[in-house]
Structure 1
Amino acid sequence: MKNKQANQILRAWDLAEKISGGELDKKAKWFSGDIRKTAYQKRESGTINEKISQNNQSSDQHVTISLLYLGAYKKQDLRDSIQNIRFRDTEMVQNRDPAKGYSVALIVNSDWSFQKIEVPYAAYFYLKLRQENIEEAMHGQQYDDFKSQLSQQLEEVIDRKRADLAECLALANQIVLKTFKLAGTRNVSQLRGLFQIQDEPPMLNSFYTEDIERVLQASADDSLLLKYLGLNPDIATKQEVDQNRDFISKLLDVENLPDGRWPGPEKYFQSLMQQVAVNVIRDKGPIKTDLKTVNGPPGTGKTTLLQDVFADTIVQQAKVMAQLEKPMDGFRRIKPIELFSNCKYNAYELIPALQGYGIVVTSNNNSAVANISKEFPSRNKIRQYPNENREKQDEYRTQLEEIDYFSDLANRILETADSWGMFAVPMGSKANQQKVFKHINHGVLKKQLSVYSDSWADARQNFNTALEAVHQEKARLHRMISIVERANPSVVDQAYLELKVVDEGIEVLNQEIANLTQKIENTRHRLVTLPKKRFLIFWQHETPTHDSLRFHISNLNKKIEGLNERVADRRKERRHVVHLIAQQEKIIREVEPIQKQLKKEGIVVFNDDFWRQTNEKRQQALPNNSRVLQNKRARLFIAAMRLRKVFICEARVPISNAWEFFAHQDKLVFAEDTLALTAGFQIMQLLIPVMSTTLASVGRMFANFGENTIDNVYIDESGQATPASAVGIAWRAKHLVAIGDPAQIEPVVTTNEATLRTIARDFKVSEQYLLPTTSVQQLADQGSIYGMHRSNHTWVGIPLWVHRRCDSPMFEIANEISYENKMVQGKPTKLSQVERSRWINSKGKATNQQFVPENVTALARIMKKRRDEGKSLDQMFVISPFRAVVNGITNKLPKEFNDGAISKKWLQEHVGTVHRFQGKEADVVFLIIGTDQDTDGGADWAFSKPNLLNVAVTRARHDFYLIGDYHRLKSKPYAEVAARELPLLDN
């Protein structure tokens, strides 16, 4: 990139990512037993000549390699020593990183002859820090030479003729330990590795460094990425959306309501800010932008709004399809490409009008990606009526099942029997891609796309009819709402007040005129009776007093004239007000039946009455919408899916060829062939509208994709993702939407903060880019136009306020500690519900870090009680901020039950640290704090921010139990709110 500041940020991230890597693969096995025996046998049967021939042969699927980790160390211990010695930082890490690092990955051929080594930069970085060579640690100018010299040493050791393999490996490990100044063992049985593998070794540094380095080498700046980095100077003025009457009223005009909607219950509207988010994402706002963010607290419907966004995306593309005489008119042939020997496939691209509708969902949270992939195609997500109306026939589900959007393929890929269609599929990891390509290949597609009974003409007509029905309903609503908006009773009330003022003014003026008239009469009478001065005998002469009285009368008449003019003006004004009243009253009389109809249909209008409501009522309403329109919009989506299927089936050649290019992209050797790949991916997304991947798999999945090659990217749970993790996907995206909540779990960063601050200073970038608390969401928020300012003046994305998950008091606790009491409770209160949530006062002596055994005894007692009352254990989560506490619970809880109810599988799925449960929910949640007086620093850490408590408490739908030492913990920040809201129960 050309932008110097962007380069510095990316280089700093590149280093931070590199030093976070170098971990032993979780699948690594000990070099002992059968593995060691097999290695000896292969070593004895091999020769150096075989090694040379092996290196020269072409890639063969039967060729295997082995990878042995040398110079293993505990990453947390090494970081702690550097933190204490180099940075003089003695702060205790409460959740110690259990990961094991390695210094060298020794890669050998199938005969255990040397092939190469890999040195993770993390090991080199920490070595140089311990040698106090910070410059070299930061920039690694001698790294390649260091690696080359070490490689030569190890090759000589491993490939010694007639040398015992165990001795070779032991010596190699000792060389590595000495080189990296580590303590270790000569026992080769204590070495671990990956043995007889065919795939390339796992990434040695980070999932993200290759993408970051690729972006650094790009010849041009990417405007979207610059916005994400906060470096785009042309960004438009921020648009405050929260409580903005003028903006919201215009944005949510009925004409701006997206035509398509997810086929959920028609009675359930989006909340006010949910629809604001949907409309902004669908580019209905006054300013078009390629970076948008949504900040949604737990239970505020982030997934629900995405359903509507995706549904409308499908509908908009269907509008283009419906204009074509035949589906093949939507494609342009590029050229034939030889994928296999003497086997060419024609490459196609979509016509420009059909491009731009692909959807990729990604996240740092594996469960979030899985939820999108599994929930959207699920039949349970298609409901015309709420669950309580099960006796009614669900036409939405019936119609989609009749269309059968390749549900059989979806069921095979998702390993379920519940899919209505292949709407979303996980694609990121190599395993997921292999599964997809196993079930979707050229032969399968040829067969699947040949079986359909619908015709293009019928599908087009059906879609156009459904689209016209939506437009007609919008027009009907627009007419009624326009009339109602003109009829404003408050205008009449104000007019009557004005009329009263005018009449009172006229009365006052008339009184003044009467008073002046009386003064004139009195003055005239005085003038007549005033004696005149005699002149000679016969003549009388008027005195100066006479002249003065006449002048006074003249002035009084002028004042009366002025007052009469004012009376005339007031009477004119009165006639205008009377006319206005008559006009408005006529309108009001005319709209009375319309208002009754709107009320009958439950339609809300953006008028003064709406904005005078409480915020709680406003947030839960969606003006300018109707159940009729909800129904027609959902049916339009269904019609779009029907049209889409026929389109795909009649264009099976471009579809199946596109899949071949993506599945065998390694065979696209020429630069111009990448167009076939990226164009083919857009065609692939006709078949699967939503593809999901973890951020960690983006670099692998889109290795051959360049800048601006993916249409629409949605990063879910982006508050959990490190900023560097989104560089590759942001660079490839044409449009990016980040959805998350910085008030929940922060990114997991194991590198200590002092090291990250040092990197920031060295690369001369703001610490905000490197701090462990900074997330994709926070960075994207700063680059987004639409959002709001929090009370601390921080700019965040479009806020969602209506919470529909938790009962009291969980809602109140989360609302106060994390959301400035701005959330609105949207979940109906059940009067019969017994409030069981409690703070269980339990204390004891911590036996392993923060673990207190007495807490588990208290936990088991409550769990048994709730089970006896009929609550399934499968509807319970047990959460703690600390790994040590989770380990203690895992070991002790089965013993407390002693009836086999607590299985290993249950523990794996229902017990864990807070981080594991973001995005999940259960009826009952237990939060175990642990700690005692001696380990109180752990409790201070757990409650130093509201995030952990917020996530824990919002996992609970109905009941929440906090188990810990009440009297020691109750006064800690944020815990005091829980202490106030949760009734105390002594153990």
Structure 2
Amino acid sequence: MFSPQRVERISQEGLVFAALPGQPLPWEAGHELSRWKLRPNQTWRHVVYLGIYRLDELFEVLSQLFGPGPESYDERPAGESAVAAFAVDEHGHVLRESLVLSSCALATGELLRNKRVRTDWPSGLGAATDDLDESLQKLLPAVTVESEDGEPRLVSGVVDHRLLSEYQKEAVQAAGVDAALSFTGIRIRSQIVVRRDEDKPDANECRHGCNRVPASAGDHDFLNSFIMQDLGRVAEKIAKGVVGVALNDYLRPEADLATAGRVDVRDRIDAVLAATAPQAVPAGRWPGHPEHTLALNQQLAVSTALGMTAGILGVNGPPGTGKTTMLRDLVAALVVERARRLAALTDPAQAFTGRQLRWKTGQRTRVVDVWRPDLTGFEMVLASTNNGAVQNVTDEIPAADAIDDSWRERAEVVDYFPDIATALLAGQPDAAQPQVVKRGWALVAARLGNKANRSRFVNTFWYHSPAANRKQSNEGHTWSGLLAVLKGYEQTGPEVPWSTAVSRFRATEARVEAIRAERTRVYQDVERSAHPELALADLRHALKVAADAVESARLRHGAALDAERERAAEAGRIASALQAEAERDARRRAAAADQTLATAERQVEHLSAGRKANAERALWSCEAELSRWLTAHATHQRSQPGPWEWLRTLGEARRHWSYHDGQLLAGVRQAQVALDMARAERAAALVEIDVVQRAVDTARGQADEIRRMLAAGIPEPQVDHAPLTAARRRVALAEQEFSTAVQNHRAAEDAIRAAEADLSALQARLRQAAGTLGRHFPDPEWHADRQRRESAALWTDGEWNEARSELFLAALALHKAFLRHNATRLRRNLQAAMDLVGGDASANPAPEAALAAWQSLFFVVPVVSTTFASYDRVFGHLGKEALGWLLVDEAGQATPQNAVGALWRTKRAVVVGDPLQLEPITTLPLRTEQAIRTEQGVDEQWLTSRTSVQRFADRLTPLGTWLAGDGDSDPTWVGVPLTVHRRCDQPMFDIVNRVAYGGLMIDGTGTGAGERFQLAYPTLPPSKWIDVAGTGARGHWIPDQGRQLDRILATLAELDFDMCEVMVIGPFRDVARELDRRARRYPGLVAGTVHTAQGKQADVVVLVLGGAPDRVGARRWASSRPNLLNVAVSRAKRRLYVIGDRQAWSPLRYFQILAAELPHQEPVQRQPPAPGRRGTGPGANSRPAAW
């Protein structure tokens, strides 16, 4: 809201006029523009600015609203803006939808009324603009006129002075600032534009560098922040979760940052060594001198960036540390990587998916072939907040002096459209007078950005043909734009088969990779030899440990044997005791056995004489008794009565006989039983005798055995003695340990012999590598000497650098061959891209189609540049993470919100800048910003006046270092620091290094340039402080200091010094205005505030301090931070002359260092010569300077 565009100053050369009463307006008869002769397809368009006001006055109003802050002094923005603006055509008719109401003026009015800003500011601004537009239409009703084709059309009435006055009154009242600001009138900016002819063939469109008339003038916002609408769109996307990695990281709160993972590259040399290993070095390199390698941290930044898949890398780039050099190598690396992927195609047509997308542009249909995803993501957009920064870098990349002379012939062979590159480096291709411009070597970068740049790019890059400029054709400039080139390719076809083009690239690539393999082997050797003494010491320690282990094992084995012997003796004693006891027991048992035998024998005798004999007698008796009974019974049987006796006795005889027979049978039975019992007794007696006899035999056997054993002697018993068993186990274990220890000792001896041999071979290889690589080899001195270490990247010696640069040129050649093989597709795609670049595409082409068109342009031109202000107008058709790379330059000057839209559309961002150079200047006073922040519930970390794009990126970058605070502030973490300074001679280098960087930078400038300068201008005094207090100050301008400056400038003029190499700057705008007058007197002289000097450099810098004697606060502001003095001093390459009141300035912070480092003197009073005077010949350089 509070970032209004500035309105240009009144300038007849710039076609900016004041609308003064009584004087004709630019579209009225009698105005000087009416005498201009325009081409048939050209016309005028005028932008009318209503309510011109000064931005510093607005700052003061806002400051007073919430109380002035002490830091607000002289940070007030310069320039003017307006409350409202609209466009009119050549006849004075208001162009439809062209009204713009200043969001800054509207928000200021709301703050004045309510001390708050509404949260729905986009819709609020739109509603207020619509209301104002309605009011203005009532003042100037529409009328019907006849158009050029004879058809009636409705237009506004013609604007005159009266209406302009009414319009301004309405606009000021609508904004609500009519009572707060002073308005200096109405201003009109006139511009020549080209009428768009929809039916005109593409090849004839706008070849003369003018802007086309847009379909709606409302497409351009004349007053408000260029990024405001895009911020609103991106905010809506984020609310829906449509956000990529880079922007998501960018918006991460401080509390969520992974600060524990930060690696300070000044302390962690091992991390830097690993991150810049040969495998991390890109295959492509810029075609610089092979011996002019990147500094270590430049290489670290390039390798780290290329290792990102997404996200943001912050690079801290103090002045003169080679930011552009680093970016050029990044460009070369990405072009080569894309060429590698091209080389993987067997058919160049495989680069496209086969899908075609279309959109309508007027009566024409654009057809776009969609690229394979793996060939995209290489798009590089260079962006910054100011045109100067992006133009400087973008112009340096394709300029012929950007490559070393040794590559010119090879670059001419590649012939990557150098004529188009040269034409794009020119200021105005169709200028009436010839211009001296830089030659281009290849079409690798181009400026886009604002409408004029884009139109010039389209006309030059695409549509140019020799016939369009006969003057150039007559001078031999017969080159054609790429449209004609591609049509020629379509007719002639490829020069060589695709396989041949690929083979040429592969051959060059093979050399690069072969050298990489060699460097990788050296790197691996370096890793192995990082601590050779420690490695051998470890092995020797292992040998000692092994020897100690052998000795310990031997001692343990001896002790185990001793213990075993003791336990064996114990076992012997126990066995002897057991033997004696066994003998005694045997004798006892022998005696017992004899006794048992005697007892058993007596039992046998007793049994034989007793029980056996009795049993036998009883048996005999029973047998006899049984015999008698049997005999008696037999006899009785014979006396059995016959039948007659039975009859005679009537059975009595039979009964008597039977009775007596029964008695006899009973006697037989009894005798038989007794006999059986006698037999059993005799058997039992025999059994008993047998048992006892066996016992006798057993006892006799035992007794005999014992007697034999006693006779033979009792052996010692085998004793199962547990201590002896354990001792024997310990002996076995000790023997095994001893054997193992001996083997380990032998292995340790072998390892030391092998390690010593390996180390000897390794050291030989490293000595050879050190001799080959020189300063690119990490020897012990490299580790110990920071200046040596950081001055040159490792591994990238002249041989590899040459091969890598050759590969970059081969990659360009392969890209060009690809164009020949796909001329028709690329012509169609690039034609669509030209519509997008020139603003001629339909309002909303499909993002995918627009992206494919843009990818085609980036294929041909790898880098394009734009300011953040123009980013949305260039790439507004694209969506989330559509582009591969965002390269931000001078990021320390950009407010964080400037980069949001670009980051949303980008996968990877390399953000280069320095928080210790100039910081962003905002229109909003700090206390006003604080009040709005509090009202909106925003955390203080997001205050735009306290931070920058660079600080946002640095805090996200894990590789970096800490910059020491200045006593009042904490140390600052910065991303990968570029430390080797190659711009300023002494004492400027030491001043800057002490004032801002705490010794971080390394002096890599060398003495050659300074010595050549001294030889060329021997009379110029060394850098110094010329002490001029002066009187009669006019604001911050001290006339006496101006007179001293005039003496210096006059002396330089006498010496024929190139005024383009002289810069005069001051901290205050009062001083800058006076310096600007000198610039008009000395063509080429760069003059202005210190803020205007960033990004520039000169051999001689004169810092005019000024400073009203009674305004101490102004000097305190200038010395409150190191940034201003850092920028001022670091602009000076060979000489720095400070003009100022030394007594007033030298006690101030940072200026104390300046005063200590610079010798000082009183000014020499001498009238300067006339400004136009020039010295000639050697004498001019021999006279002493007059100051």
TM tier, smaller? 0.7 to 0.9
Distance 1:133 1:917, change over 3 A: closer
1:620 corresponding residue in structure 2:
791
1:874 corresponding residue in structure 2:
1060
Once the two structures are overlaid, the 10-residue window that deviates more, 812-821 or 862-871, is 862-871
Structure 1 SS opposite 2:796: coil
Distance 1:981 1:315, change over 3 A: same
Kept in 2, the 8 Å contact 1:171–1:186? The answer is no
1:475 corresponding residue in structure 2:
517
The one of 781, 797, 813 equivalent to 2:991 is 813
Residue 940 of structure 2 is aligned to residue 763 of structure 1: no
Q: Deviations over 1:295-334 (max 9, x none)?
A: 1111112111111111111111111111212322211333
The one of 1141, 1153, 1160 equivalent to 1:965 is 1141
- Identity rate, percent: 27
Kept in 2, the 8 Å contact 1:21–1:122? The answer is no
In the alignment, residue 798 of structure 1 is paired with which amino acid? V
1:942 corresponding residue in structure 2:
1118
Residue 178 of structure 2 is aligned to residue 182 of structure 1: yes
1:641 corresponding residue in structure 2:
812
1 CA distance for matches of 2:125 and 2:327?
A: 46
The one of 849, 858, 867 equivalent to 1:685 is 858
Kept in 1, the 8 Å contact 2:357–2:849? The answer is no
The one of 31, 41, 65 equivalent to 2:19 is 31
1:929 corresponding residue in structure 2:
1105
Q: Deviations over 1:693-722 (max 9, x none)?
A: 111110111121222211211111111111
Structure 2 SS opposite 1:101: strand
The one of 178, 183, 186 equivalent to 1:191 is 186
Kept in 1, the 8 Å contact 2:27–2:91? The answer is yes
How far apart are residue 594 of structure 1 and its match? 2.8
Kept in 2, the 8 Å contact 1:21–1:120? The answer is no
The one of 252, 275, 279 equivalent to 1:251 is 275
Structure 1 SS opposite 2:24: helix
Question: Residues 156-555 of structure 1: matches in 2 within 5 Å?
Answer: 156-159=138-141, 165-177=160-172, 180=176, 182=178, 190-195=185-190, 199=213, 200=217, 202-218=221-237, 219-223=240-244, 224-231=246-253, 238-242=261-265, 243-283=267-307, 288-335=309-356, 337=358, 339=360, 343-383=364-404, 394=406, 396-415=407-426, 416=437, 418-441=439-462, 444-449=481-486, 450=488, 453-483=495-525, 485-487=527-529, 489-491=532-534, 494=537
2:1094 corresponding residue in structure 1:
918
Kept in 2, the 8 Å contact 1:281–1:737? The answer is yes
Kept in 2, the 8 Å contact 1:226–1:232? The answer is no
How far apart are residue 659 of structure 1 and its match? 2.0
1:795 corresponding residue in structure 2:
973
How far apart are residue 39 of structure 1 and its match? 4.9
2:1130 corresponding residue in structure 1:
954
Q: Deviations over 1:791-822 (max 9, x none)?
A: 43533211121212212211111111211212
Residue 810 of structure 2 is aligned to residue 661 of structure 1: no
Distance 1:184 1:977, change over 3 A: closer
Q: What is the RMSD of the two structures over their aligned residues, measured on CA atoms?
A: 4.1
Question: Residues 680-719 of structure 1: matches in 2 within 5 Å?
Answer: 680-719=853-892
In the alignment, residue 520 of structure 2 is paired with which amino acid? H
1 CA distance for matches of 2:328 and 2:349?
A: 29
Distance 1:572 1:986, change over 3 A: farther
Structure 2 SS opposite 1:440: helix
1:547 corresponding residue in structure 2:
none
In the alignment, residue 772 of structure 1 is paired with which amino acid? S
2 CA distance for matches of 1:354 and 1:262?
A: 21
Residue 1001 of structure 2 is aligned to residue 982 of structure 1: no
1 CA distance for matches of 2:543 and 2:1161?
A: 64
Once the two structures are overlaid, the 10-residue window that deviates more, 425-434 or 171-180, is 171-180
2 CA distance for matches of 1:304 and 1:790?
A: 23
Q: Deviations over 1:656-702 (max 9, x none)?
A: 11222122246655967332211111111111111111111101111
How far apart are residue 621 of structure 1 and its match? 3.7
User: Which structure 2 residue ranges, 5 or more long, are not aligned?
Assistant: 32-39, 144-156, 194-212, 427-436, 466-480, 560-733, 965-969, 1015-1020, 1164-1187
Kept in 2, the 8 Å contact 1:498–1:577? The answer is no
1 CA distance for matches of 2:522 and 2:868?
A: 47
The one of 93, 101, 110 equivalent to 2:81 is 101
Kept in 2, the 8 Å contact 1:22–1:103? The answer is no
In the alignment, residue 867 of structure 2 is paired with which amino acid? T
2:1043 corresponding residue in structure 1:
857
2 CA distance for matches of 1:471 and 1:497?
A: 39
Q: Deviations over 1:110-147 (max 9, x none)?
A: 55456664321222222233334535598587655554
Q: Deviations over 1:761-781 (max 9, x none)?
A: 122112332242411111122
How far apart are residue 885 of structure 1 and its match? 0.4
1:69 corresponding residue in structure 2:
49
In the alignment, residue 916 of structure 2 is paired with which amino acid? A
2 CA distance for matches of 1:499 and 1:353?
A: 53
2 CA distance for matches of 1:477 and 1:723?
A: 41
TM normalised by structure 2 equals 0.68
2 CA distance for matches of 1:137 and 1:849?
A: 40
Distance 1:958 1:133, change over 3 A: closer
2 CA distance for matches of 1:148 and 1:486?
A: 73
2 CA distance for matches of 1:749 and 1:889?
A: 24
1 CA distance for matches of 2:183 and 2:378?
A: 58
Q: Deviations over 1:204-252 (max 9, x none)?
A: 2111101101112223331321211124998766341513233223222
2 CA distance for matches of 1:865 and 1:111?
A: 53
Kept in 2, the 8 Å contact 1:844–1:932? The answer is no
2 CA distance for matches of 1:163 and 1:489?
A: 89
Kept in 2, the 8 Å contact 1:368–1:717? The answer is yes
Kept in 1, the 8 Å contact 2:961–2:974? The answer is yes
Kept in 2, the 8 Å contact 1:840–1:963? The answer is yes
The one of 109, 125, 128 equivalent to 2:110 is 128
2 CA distance for matches of 1:850 and 1:920?
A: 24
How far apart are residue 29 of structure 1 and its match? 1.2
How far apart are residue 62 of structure 1 and its match? 7.3
Kept in 1, the 8 Å contact 2:450–2:866? The answer is yes
Q: Deviations over 1:122-178 (max 9, x none)?
A: 222222333345355985876555545544444333449999943343344445556
Bigger CA radius of gyration: 2
Question: Residues 16-95 of structure 1: matches in 2 within 5 Å?
Answer: 16-17=2-3, 20-21=4-5, 23=7, 28-32=16-20, 36=24, 39=27, 66-87=46-67, 89=69, 93-94=73-74
Kept in 2, the 8 Å contact 1:273–1:800? The answer is yes
Q: Deviations over 1:64-107 (max 9, x none)?
A: 66443333322322331342244355876326544223223255
TM normalised by structure 1 equals 0.81
User: Which structure 1 residue ranges, 5 or more long, are not aligned?
Assistant: 1-14, 44-59, 385-393, 517-562, 895-901
2 CA distance for matches of 1:981 and 1:740?
A: 26
2 CA distance for matches of 1:366 and 1:624?
A: 37
Distance 1:146 1:315, change over 3 A: closer
How far apart are residue 472 of structure 1 and its match? 1.1
Structure 1 SS opposite 2:866: strand
How far apart are residue 743 of structure 1 and its match? 0.7
